[in-house]
Structure 1
Amino acid sequence: MGLIGIVLSLGLLMYLAYRGITVLILAPLLALLALVLNGEFTLLGTYTQIFMTALGDYVIQYFPLFLLGAIFGKLMADSGSARAIAETIVGRLGPSNAIAAIVLSCGILTYGGVSLFVVAFAVYPIAAAMFKRGDLPKRLIPAAIALGSFTFTMTAFPGTPAIQNAIPMPFFGTTPFAAPIIGVVAGLIMMIGGIAWLNFRAKRAAGRNEGYGEHEESAIGESAEIEGDAPSFWVAMAPAIAVIVLNALFTYVFIPAMDTSYLSTEEFGEIEIGDVRGIWAIIAALVLSILLLVGLNYKRLTDLKTSVNKGTFGSLLPVFNTASEVGYGAIIASLPAFFVVRDAVLGLTDNPLINVAVATNVLAGITGSASGGMSIALEALGDRFAELAETAGISEQLMHRITTLSSGGFDALPHNGAVITLLGICGLTHRQSYADIFVVAVCIPVAATIVAIVLGTIGVI
């Protein structure tokens, strides 16, 4: 009955979230449902002492990244920088390479720290114009944006400031640049494989004389323009490049040179610098890059206060959504029946890489969230995964990268919030576009993760 309760709770979470009910309400209610079906009736104590504690711990640790990332993305959009980058790349590659141009535009923006939602809004009008000019099916636009926004730059390429690349750091004592060779290989598989698939689909559509098609204008329009004087390409790129460069400098140069011995005191939690180095580096990189962005675009940011405020408010729902899922996972992990699930996952093979990949992918798929699924997996099993990796002689860097890669597979199932939002932006339906999203954002990333596990098993990191 306990296992049935967990499965029922997870199933309802997935279904009701797909139906549009916020996880802020669903997560605690359905976790407590699982508690009752497991024969436990300590509802209030479980809610305040387990759910809220886990939620609070997550917010304490990761809120600065959500906050700064949202502000940075909003300023990139409001300054015209995001659109300037996308338009330049599309213009250079031309209509015949529209798919690759859109993917690369999204990839550069997200790898530079711009939120995937901001990127989707910024790039969609350009993609619509390019696809219409090249007479490519509009139904392929969501897959192109998804490929560039929430695959290789979210989980694979080393140094990405995406939250998915930050979550494993405290568990494995790693940095955003963990396992760089495997990250690059996996990222290239996703990018090249995804572009090849979409070009193949476009060629088949051309053979059937299927063009752009007749479509109603989407909610954000088909040809929005940058208001005012847009920055040049390199001015627009400078803050995005700064995020990556500063992240590396703080990770490998500045922070190691600092006196951080005070962290070992009781006042600071008796931790080591490895526990916070990665998060410190991303925070510092984003703060300085935001200042650079504002300095370069001060005249273009006509209402800086409003941009910063909207970015700040825009960070609140994502961080609390994810934190609520972490709280949900903490309750599930406290149930006796969960130990059966845990033992099943840990007993799949003797290879911790496979175990962490399966656990993360399954939970990301169930919750429809890469960060949420990974957080639940690591909160419940992170310490155990670290122990198994040490026993097996597997690098913690490798565990970090495989965990991150695994969060970006089954998370993009139809109920994923980013998928639903992206289709809404493009004015298309699941029936029209989801099949190609499934290939480029689920199938190919899972294949890349398998390749990464094989390479990691033979000693490549």
Structure 2
Amino acid sequence: MFGLVGGLVLLIILTLRGWNLFISAPICALFVAITAQLPIFVGDMNFVESYMTGFSGFVASWFFMFLLGSIFGKFMEDTGAADSVAEWIITRLGKKQAVLAVVLACAILTYGGVSVFVVAFSVYPMALSLFKDANLPRRFIPAALAFGSVTFTMTSAGSPEIQNWIPIEYLGTSPYAAWEVSLVVAVIMFVLGYWWLTKMISHAVNKGESFESRVGDPTLDERSLPHPITGFLPLVVVLALSFFYHDSLGKMALIVALSGGVLALMAINWKFFKDMQEALGQATTGALIAIGNTAAVVGFGSVARVTPAFETAVAAMTSIPGNELVGAAIAVSVIAGLTGSASGGQAIALPEVGPHYLDQGVSPEQLHRVVSISSGALDSLPHNGYVVTTIRAICNEKHSDAYWAVGAVTVVVPVIGLAIAIALFNFF
């Protein structure tokens, strides 16, 4: 148990220190294997075989989804369609609603299938301009971007993001599982999160904080943008195809949906491409990095899963007295939090907790929604890849300045939403 917990803590520390996950995850997995006295190179459940089984298995299952999602997002960016959609929303709301405009722009793009990383890159320049016009502290921009991307949209019913699709493989459900409860929870999360975020910003403004310009701030691209409808239509295509084919194709419907979105985007906005080949190259590289980082964490989890300590931990979490959905939520939340990955946490936890709770008669639809929402809560701790990228690389802020608002709207609010979802499943 010391080795398992120590390996997870070490992974968090190395990630916070900026280590590459392709290096830190195998090192931490090796630490877990040695302390658990697992064979390293030969023998049953040896370290190398266990790690690469988890790594390659995740890539084999989700490569095309990551690739097509990255291409779709990059094409939205390269043609200016993402900027056009975001600008349309922002123009309608005005600078007095700067925070709401940023949140809604991110939410629409995310729910339409655009990668959360691409959304952050696309919306940030406009968010910066809006916060500057409204004279709001720029350290809250990461929270606005994250709230619109990885909370009430990413894990909601119907979302094309993989955090809503991974449970399908293990539970035999659909991306619209328990949509009624999901809708209620999403609305509550949006209202609560937006209220809290604006309160934090107002408090900071009342204390004298304001916008501060910096050398090197990005400026909005002045090029001619396509009509906003040409950005909305591909998003509709993705959602429509995933809806029509999810019953017959299962998770493969996501490949069809994203492919349809890419083709629709190419057909509608062909003349607005700046450089399609460069966009494809960047999208491919981005997809490989994204799935590789996640797979590296899944590989770590695969090694941890074959240790006696992991079996003990899972047994403890799944034997928590009371409601089964609570136990499933705790198990997925803890694993997603420790690995800093919602999708990685699901891929590690579901093979263990899925069959356990299905055998106990838990509704697959309810379990799907609880797993999805819970994976998007504690995963947003400081070492999460999206959090680090958004705060440091995109917004050029310090964790000490920006993370607390991010943590409030991406950790606390989803945990509250998760509690509400479980309550609704149990009392209605």
Fold in common (TM above 0.5): yes
**Farther-moved stretch of structure 1 (86-95 vs 426-435):** 426-435
Distance, in Å, in 2 between the alignment partners of 1:44 and 1:322 is 26
Give the alignment's TM-score, normalised by structure 1: 0.89
Deviations 1:435-454 (A, max 9, x none): 11111001011000000011
Distance, in Å, in 1 between the alignment partners of 2:418 and 2:352 is 22
Distance, in Å, in 1 between the alignment partners of 2:16 and 2:129 is 30
Q: 1:406 aligns with which of 374, 378, 398?
A: 374
The answer to whether 1:245 aligns with 2:240 is yes
The answer to whether 1:231 aligns with 2:226 is yes
Partner of 1:316: 288
Contact 2:193-2:413 within 8 A present in 1 as well: yes
* 1:337 Cα deviation after fit: 1.9
Q: 1:427 aligns with which of 370, 377, 396?
A: 396
Q: 2:306 aligns with which of 291, 309, 334?
A: 334
The 4+ residue runs of structure 1 with deviation greater than 4 A are none
Deviations 1:310-359 (A, max 9, x none): 21221011112212222221221111122211111011124221111111
Contact 2:54-2:299 within 8 A present in 1 as well: yes
Contact 2:53-2:302 within 8 A present in 1 as well: no
Give the alignment's TM-score, normalised by structure 2: 0.95
The answer to whether 1:375 aligns with 2:347 is yes
Amino acid at match of 2:321: T
Partner of 1:144: 144
Contact 1:363-1:377 within 8 A present in 2 as well: yes
Q: 1:17 aligns with which of 15, 22, 30?
A: 15
Contact 1:159-1:176 within 8 A present in 2 as well: yes
Contact 1:32-1:43 within 8 A present in 2 as well: no
Cα 1:351–1:66 change in 2 (3 A) is same
Partner of 2:279: 307
Partner of 1:268: none
Contact 1:326-1:379 within 8 A present in 2 as well: no
Contact 1:95-1:134 within 8 A present in 2 as well: yes
Distance, in Å, in 2 between the alignment partners of 1:21 and 1:59 is 21
Distance, in Å, in 2 between the alignment partners of 1:423 and 1:184 is 29
Amino acid at match of 1:399: L
Deviations 1:417-436 (A, max 9, x none): 11111112112111211111
Partner of 1:269: none
Deviations 1:7-61 (A, max 9, x none): 1111111111221222222223322221221233344552343221222222111
Distance, in Å, in 2 between the alignment partners of 1:414 and 1:401 is 24
The answer to whether 1:458 aligns with 2:427 is yes
The answer to whether 1:416 aligns with 2:384 is yes
Partner of 1:56: 56
Distance, in Å, in 1 between the alignment partners of 2:159 and 2:84 is 21
Cα RMSD (Å) of the superposition?
A: 1.5
What 5-or-longer segments of structure 1 have no aligned partner? 256-276
The answer to whether 1:442 aligns with 2:411 is yes
Distance, in Å, in 1 between the alignment partners of 2:305 and 2:98 is 46
Deviations 1:393-413 (A, max 9, x none): x32011011001001111111
Aligned pairs for 1:174-185 (under 5 A) are 174-185=173-184
* 1:165 Cα deviation after fit: 0.9
Partner of 1:80: 80
Q: How many residues align?
A: 425
**Farther-moved stretch of structure 1 (99-108 vs 412-421):** 412-421
Aligned pairs for 1:258-407 (under 5 A) are 277-388=249-360, 390=361, 394-407=362-375
Contact 2:167-2:371 within 8 A present in 1 as well: yes
* 1:199 Cα deviation after fit: 1.6
Amino acid at match of 2:252: W
Contact 1:326-1:375 within 8 A present in 2 as well: yes
Amino acid at match of 1:51: Y
Contact 2:117-2:386 within 8 A present in 1 as well: yes
Contact 2:40-2:48 within 8 A present in 1 as well: no
| Secondary structure of residue in 2 paired with 1:50 | helix
* 1:192 Cα deviation after fit: 1.3
What 5-or-longer segments of structure 2 have no aligned partner? none
Partner of 2:191: 192
Contact 1:330-1:380 within 8 A present in 2 as well: no
| Secondary structure of residue in 2 paired with 1:298 | helix
* 1:201 Cα deviation after fit: 2.0
Distance, in Å, in 2 between the alignment partners of 1:250 and 1:65 is 15
Partner of 2:160: 161
